[in-house]
Structure 1
Amino acid sequence: MPLRDYNAAVDFVDRNVAEGRGGKIAFIDPQRSLSFGELGDAVARVGPMLARLGVEQENRIALVLKDTVDFPILFWGAIRAGIVPVLLNTRLNADQYRYLLEDSRSKAVFASSEFLPAIEEAAADLPHLRTIVAVGDAPPPTLQLAELLDAEHEGGAPAATCADDIAYWQYSSGTTGMPKGVMHVHSSPRVMAENAGRRIGYREDDVVFSAAKLFFAYGLGNAMFCTMGIGATSVLYPERPTAGSVFDTLQAHHPTMLFAVPTLYAAMLADPRSRTEALPDRLRLCVSAGEPLPAQVGLNWRNRFGRDIVNGVGSTEMGHLFLTNLPHAVEYGTSGVPVDGYRLRLVDESGDDVADGEIGELLVNGRSAAAGYWNQRDKTRTTFVGEWTRTGDKYHRRVDGVYTYCGRTDDIFKVSGIWVSPFEIEQALMSHPKVLEAAVIPAEDVDGLVKPKAFVVLSCCAEVDPGTLFEELKDHVKSAIGPWKYPRWIQIMDDLPKTSSGKLQRYLLREMTPGGVDATENTRAGRVVYGRAAAGSGR
């Protein structure tokens, strides 16, 4: 890669054609497939199309797209023209879209047809937005991507960009507040493809299915950067993935690699089809990231399907995975070791390194780190400290260099003067056969003492006796991880509140928990409280 002059689209698109992959399938969706050559032709026509719409180099365009072959066309086409695609979550409402469109000052929006009503409502009177383009069918006078591209008979030359130019944006998931625009440079995708791609073991003959969506950093790395970096093929699924649709896609396309979030792996195990369904023989690797993988989910997957799940850790700020289990040496309950090309530190509240075995905040150093947050100077300075990026996650590291997740920095709490990891309690609860999902937060009793409170989703719909269930789970946690760590209260939920990308929203659980929970009252009810997820949980 040149030290300065570099265009990521030329590398990821044009290079594959130049190396003889023009006739090879790059992307498959339920309606069409696209070869690397066809992708290159369409990508080259996006720049002239955007120019006719009045979009200039270094302007931004928003993409609100389902996972279809149009996504890589627009993503790489904008980057090739020196224009910045801003990837937006497809599960937002009009008010949320308005905030993101206003914040990003996007000049155009390309939206899958079903999202047009929300986008049109959100776009009303925005001063910077000039054009809305439908991706798919739409009634006149709405512009349609297919017609605009068909009108361009020649491709444009790639823009003269450098490795440090901003290439694309993603927005943080907003688990604790409004999302932040995360700006990545042209050189970052190549770093991710080489580092994470080598760790996971991508091959040119791989067929990859990522249930995690392309607007999500994990999905973008899985199904775009790492696949195209080596010339592999990606299977795209436009709709929201379910256990059934993943089983269907596996049977239809027989991929060699599957990427999903832990919630989806758990849902597949809970689906009746899991008792009779076999995974394709070609499926050699299953990978999980986006949220911590509970050990019991991995063990259950291995016992049922004879495959391990490789647990990985990444972030929007780092672009993709920087810490994973080794694919052929999976150890459930751990996050593994650093990906080649990344350095990790654990620090205390003063910023000093902690010893092995102690809990500290994880800092990451790697060349895929974002350039910063858009128009958030204070938060940029707090997160991006010199060459290091603060993750906000707590870990401990063994003497052999293996890292174990302990929770978010503001989720860790003390019980009887001893630090407690909510994730450790959650894993212990989920190892009980009656628990499908669990979340733990600190709660104060009537004396003002902090104790664990658990929210659980049961693995079956059968009636349970509250007192008996509480005693079962209490004794189970005590024996698994320690007598002081058991939850003093357990609330049974229909579902847990999560972001649209599957991350647990603990702050909503905290809002559901008043201060000074009366342990005496709960004792009479077995300390089990029945409830439902808060409104706006995202599920």
Structure 2
Amino acid sequence: MQIGPNTSTLIDGWLESGRGSDTVLITADDRSWTADELYHAVCNVAARLVDAGAGRGDRILMVQDDTPAFPAVFLGAMRIGAVPIPVNFLARPDDFGYFLDDSEAVAAVVDHVFLEIVGPQVAARPQVKLIVANGEAPTGAESLDEWMISDAGEVSPVSTQPDDMAFWLYSSGSTGLPKGVVHRHSAIAATCVHYAVPVLGIGPEDVAFSTTKMFHAYGLGNNLSFPLWSGATSVYLTGRPTPDRALDRVRAHRPSLLFSVPALYNGMLSDPGFDAVDWSAVRLGISAAEPLPPEIWRQFHDRTGIEILDGIGSTEMLHIYVSNRAGAVKPGTSGTPVDGYEVEIYDTEGEVAASGEPGEMWVRGPSRLSTYWNQPERSSDKIRGDWFLSGDRYQKDEDGYYTYLGRIDDMMKIGGLWVSPIEIENRLMEHEAVHEAAVVSVNIDNRSRIKAAVILNDGYEGGEDLTAELQQWCKAALQRYQFPHVVDYVDDFPRTATGKIQRFKLRD
């Protein structure tokens, strides 16, 4: 399929080819949506956004789970030249205020279930219009549900250029507050042309199911871009993607493409109902967000016969740019570069590393971010000409496969989400018992977990009760996944001559 410069035309081609009524693009909990139905919802939302005063360049914050309302808003905003910004609906209340202020959003589309957390942040900013999805809108707010079923007629996409700003995604990056990652209108098509079609072979006969949400770059491609491009059906899962719920979707909808992350693949393998599932419809598994341990790959393959294609992508590059291929998987690696993308390994001196030597992966390709919003220093640090500096430490083997060695800056990825050790350390050290803390990521039963090494103040003793107390202490102030799964009580840390903690030794 070809699309115009405006990304919202992803859906138009199915109507132009006469297949609007027979191409089922979405299967949600209660119904299926054809291309024709989604097209009209997109146009309705676009028209009502204009009525609400939104226009070219205006930012629209999206706090939405995976329902048909998500693509209706995402594509509807771009259709009028506005800029949709999906964000993590599990963020802390203050983060939503930051998103609104940093983006200077004129409107926020919020699922009704998230109103209690997000609503006060919007109310504190009277210049932001509140639009409520998937539930009743309170007084003074607009109803997206009513917008989607209105009769606005066809809305032509505004004229845009491939390099025009299309949408943002927020990335926590390595330090500080989340960063707005600005993507162009050409980016989504690039991920489809270079990855989805040649690597996955996705087509109209496929049914895709992703456990990763669409606010995440990986989930956005899996659940929105790739199916809309190819005419495949996307199976949505609203709510927490637990292993049992993921298996239920596989049973009920028999996807041919299963997109997930290592923690959930491992969770599904451990579920008592795993072997009772009929896996015959699934032709490929896809994994990203964190490296897939080879033992999980082998167990999944041995029990289902399905290959999982592990790969590396990022918010900044929008989707996977190094991937394993069907029939040529090397477990424990991220694979080889996707056609259209180039990668190089650079050493600490900023020179291309010698063959086989580890270093930071640099990547360039057609889906690279244009900039970090209002972050000129970070943009200049991470974007060098056409290259993006990934911050990931890699090594290339003799077969051209790339193996992930960890983050350059010691950031941790837990369940596909970036976790800052500094935030957890600072929170732990606010506890009266803790003198000093150092946090690292460790592998426990083939899952990435958080380990805290803690030096206690005099008069305190480590034990199970204190560990539980420290875990709850972190959960009370941080995000639900930002707590140490393991706490080691130590007398001191391994340090350099200057006193700097040698974190890599704490991982042993």
Structure-1-length-normalised TM-score: 0.77
**Distance in 1 between residues matched to 2:248 and 2:288, nearest whole Å:** 22
2:62 is equivalent to residue 63 of structure 1: yes
1:25-174 superposed matches below 5 A: 25-126=24-125, 128-174=127-173
Do 2:206 and 2:232's aligned partners in 1 also have CA atoms closer than 8 Å? Answer: yes
Q: Where does residue 447 of structure 2 map in the other structure? A: 437
- 1:153 & 1:314 partners in 2: Cα distance? 38
Amino acid corresponding to residue 215 of structure 1 in structure 2: F
Report matched runs for 1:245-256 at 5 Å. Answer: 245-256=245-256
* 1:191-270 matched pairs, under 5 angstroms: 191-197=190-196, 198-270=198-270
Q: What aligned pairs does 1:101-500 form with structure 2 within 5 A after superposition?
A: 101-126=100-125, 128-174=127-173, 176-197=175-196, 198-274=198-274, 276-411=275-410, 435-439=445-449
CA positional deviation for 1:346: 0.3
1:516 aligned onto 2:476: no
Which amino acid in 2 is paired with 1:256?
S
Larger mean Cα displacement after TM superposition, 293-302 or 387-396: 293-302
Q: In 2, Cα distance between the equivalents of 1:237 and 1:246?
A: 8
Relative to 1, partners in 2 of residues 1:504 and 1:353: Cα closer, same or farther, differing over 3 Å? farther
1:280, distance to aligned residue in structure 2 (A): 2.9
- Provide the secondary structure at the position in 1 that maps to 2:205: coil
Partner of 2:12 in structure 1?
14
Aligned twin of 1:522: none
Q: Distance in 2 between matches of 1:67 and 1:2?
A: 25
Aligned equivalents of 1:513, 1:334: Cα separation in 2 = 34
Deviation at 1:279, TM superposition (A): 3.5
Give the drift of 1:442. 10
1:249 Cα deviation after fit:
0.6
Secondary structure of the corresponding residue to residue 66 of structure 2: coil
Contact 1:21 1:231 in 2 (8 A): no
Partner of 1:407, secondary structure, is strand
1:400 shift after superposition: 2.0
Change (3 A) 1:510 1:161: farther
Supply the distance in 2 between the matched residues of 1:2 and 1:239 (Cα, whole angstroms): 33
Q: Is contact 2:452–2:487 with CA below 8 Å preserved after alignment?
A: no
CA separation of 1:180 and 1:409: change in aligned 2, threshold 3 A: same
| Structure 2 gap segments, 5+ residues each | 412-439, 456-467, 495-508
In structure 2, how many angstroms separate the alpha carbons of the residues matched to 1:113 and 1:503?
A: 21
CA distance in 1, matches of 2:222, 2:214: 8
Partners of 1:392 and 1:284 in 2: CA distance: 32
The answer to whether the 8 Å contact 2:454/2:489 transfers is: no
How many Å separate the matches in 2 of 1:7 and 1:203? 22
Query: Matched residues, percent identical?
Result: 36
Deviation readout 1:11-35 (Å, 9 max, x if unpaired): x111122123202101111022210
- Give how far 1:125 is off: 2.7
Please state how far the C-alpha of 1:176 moved relative to its aligned partner: 4.1
CA distance in structure 1 between the partners assigned to 2:280 and 2:386 by the alignment: 43
How far the C-alpha of 1:144 sits from its partner, in A, is: 1.1
Structure 2 counterpart of 1:270, one-letter code:
S
Q: CA deviation at 1:505?
A: 6.6
Q: 1:503 and 1:203 mapped to 2: Cα distance?
A: 38
Q: 1:174 to 1:364 in 2, by over 3 A?
A: closer
Contact 2:110 2:130 in 1 (8 A): no
Query: In the TM superposition, what whole-angstrom CA distance separates every residue of 1:307-354 from its partner, at most 9, and x where no partner exists?
Result: 221101100000000011112221111111001110000001121001
Native 8 Å contact 2:217 2:315 kept in 1? yes
1:112-169 superposed Cα distances (whole Å, 9 cap, x missing partner): 1111121111123325413333332344453211223444432322111111111111
Aligned-pair Cα RMSD in Å: 3.2
- Contact kept in structure 2, 1:443 and 1:515, CA below 8 Å: no
User: Is the CA contact (8 Å cut-off) linking 1:53 and 1:131 kept in structure 2?
Assistant: no
Residues 166 and 325 of structure 1: CA distance in aligned 2, closer, same or farther (over 3 Å): same
Query: Which amino acid letter does the alignment assign opposite residue 81 of structure 1?
Result: I
Q: 1:313 to 1:286 in 2, by over 3 A?
A: same
Q: Could you say what secondary structure the match of 1:200 adopts?
A: coil
Aligned-partner SS, 2:273: helix
Q: What does residue 456 of structure 1 align with?
A: none
Cα deviation digits, residues 396-427 of structure 1 (max 9, x gap): 00122110000001239xxxxxxxxxxxx989
SS of the aligned residue for 1:393 comes to: strand
Q: What is the TM-score of this pair, normalised by structure 2?
A: 0.81
**Between 216-225 and 145-154, the greater mean CA deviation after superposition:** 145-154
In 2: Cα distance, 1:426 partner to 1:408 partner = 11
Give me the whole-angstrom Cα distance separating, in 2, the residues matched to 1:162 and 1:310. Answer: 33
| Contact kept? 1:290, 1:503, Cα under 8 Å | no
Task: Report the number of matched residues.
Answer: 449
Q: Is the alpha carbon distance of 1:441 and 1:379 closer, same or farther for their aligned partners in structure 2, counting shifts above 3 Å? A: farther
Deviations 1:362-385 (A, max 9, x none): 000101001111101100111111
